[in-house]
């Protein structure tokens, strides 16, 4: 049985006071039946680490540099994330692909840089509405995942995958459990063919997951939890979603 994982993606939200309140609420609501993590803005990683250290809650970053170190102004390396105790780094989020021009190849190199430092990449894949309407969903997500599989080679089974249809992110329009499951099954088959360990790998769903739709999404056979944006900023909502993952 795969254990469920729920990851909050705070995006560019938060401040020290609000974060402290949110993290205190998440700690107080333990235990959870699932693994729970928060991916916070990089500036808040130290404080998050200090607050969550010693608990079973995990933390991570929302991006990572493809480079080890050097003259890359503004970038943050996987080694730095590892030193902050990061368990995860989201890579290839659709907002980074769209607003920062991240290609499949760059996303793959970032995933490799993270893994090389023991930080688990949460690799996001997902189609736009035009791609879905054009019947290209499978081809798009398989192409995005394939780039990472080829880069990671024998380590590919170490990544976490997140299926996030772009049209469902922050829109209030969730994929139906059946739509999500269908893509998850495709991704798992691809992972199985490439690594032989697809059955043990974690595939999250993301895109307008809320307290009231989480349980039906998480009940799908190939959905192992969620990557939660907006609803991860409100303690009551995020806690309810974590509790829906059993």
Q: Which residues form the interface with ligand PGA (CB under 6 A)?
A: 9, 164, 169-170, 206-209, 227-231
The DSSP bridge partners found for residue 8 are 38, 228
Catalytic residue among 66, 131, 164, 184: 164
- Smallest distance from ligand PGA to CB 232, Å: 7
Cβ contact 167:177 at 8 Å: no
Active site (annotated) includes residue 47: no
Active site residue 93: yes
The H or E element containing residue 60 is: strand 58-61
Separation of alpha carbons 144 and 159, rounded Å: 14
CA separation, residue 27 to residues 20, 218, 239 (Å): 11, 22, 10
Catalytic residue from among 93, 95, 102, 184: 93
Comparing CB distances to ligand PGA, the nearer of 89 and 169 is 169
Residue nearest to ligand PGA (CB): 229
Instruction: In angstroms, give the least distance from the CB of 51 to ligand PGA.
Output: 22
Q: Which is nearer to ligand PGA, 7 or 194 (CB)?
A: 7
In the complex, minimum distance from the CB of residue 161 to ligand PGA, in angstroms, rounded to a whole number: 13
Q: Residues in the chain, how many?
A: 246
DSSP string, 126-141: ---HHHHHTT-HHHHH
Quote the CA–CA distance of 221 and 185 in Å, as a whole number: 8
Nearest distance from residue 10's CB to ligand PGA, in Å?
10
Closest by CA to 164, choosing from 136, 204, 126, 191, is 126
In the complex with ligand PGA, the residue whose CB is nearer, 42 or 116, is: 42
Closer to ligand PGA at the Cβ: 124 or 191? 124
Name the residues annotated as catalytic. 93, 164
């Amino acid at each position: 049985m795969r254990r469920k994982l729920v990851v909050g993606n705070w995006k560019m939200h938060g401040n020290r006071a609000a974060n402290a309140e949110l993290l205190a609420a998440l700690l107080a609501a333990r235990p959870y039946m699932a693994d729970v993590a928060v991916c916070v803005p990089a500036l808040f990683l130290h404080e998050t680490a200090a607050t969550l250290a010693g608990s079973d809650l995990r933390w991570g970053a929302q991006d990572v540099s493809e480079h080890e170190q050097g003259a890359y102004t503004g970038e943050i390396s996987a080694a730095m994330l590892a030193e902050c105790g990061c368990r995860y780094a989201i890579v290839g989020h659709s907002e980074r692909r769209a607003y920062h021009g991240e290609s499949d190849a760059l996303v793959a190199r970032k995933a490799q840089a993270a893994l090389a430092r023991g930080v688990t990449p949460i690799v996001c894949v997902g189609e736009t509405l035009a791609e879905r309407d054009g019947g290209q969903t499978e081809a798009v997500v398989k192409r995005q995942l394939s780039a990472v599989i080829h880069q990671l080679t024998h380590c590919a089974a170490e990544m976490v995958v997140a299926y996030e249809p772009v049209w469902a992110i922050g829109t209030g329009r969730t994929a139906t459990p059946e739509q999500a499951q269908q893509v998850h099954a495709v991704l798992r088959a691809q992972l199985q063919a490439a690594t032989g360990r697809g059955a043990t790998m974690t595939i999250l769903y993301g895109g307008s997951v809320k307290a009231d739709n989480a349980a039906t999404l998480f009940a799908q056979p190939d959905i192992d939890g969620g990557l939660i944006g907006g609803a991860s900023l409100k303690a009551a909502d995020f806690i309810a979603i974590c509790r829906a993952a059993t």
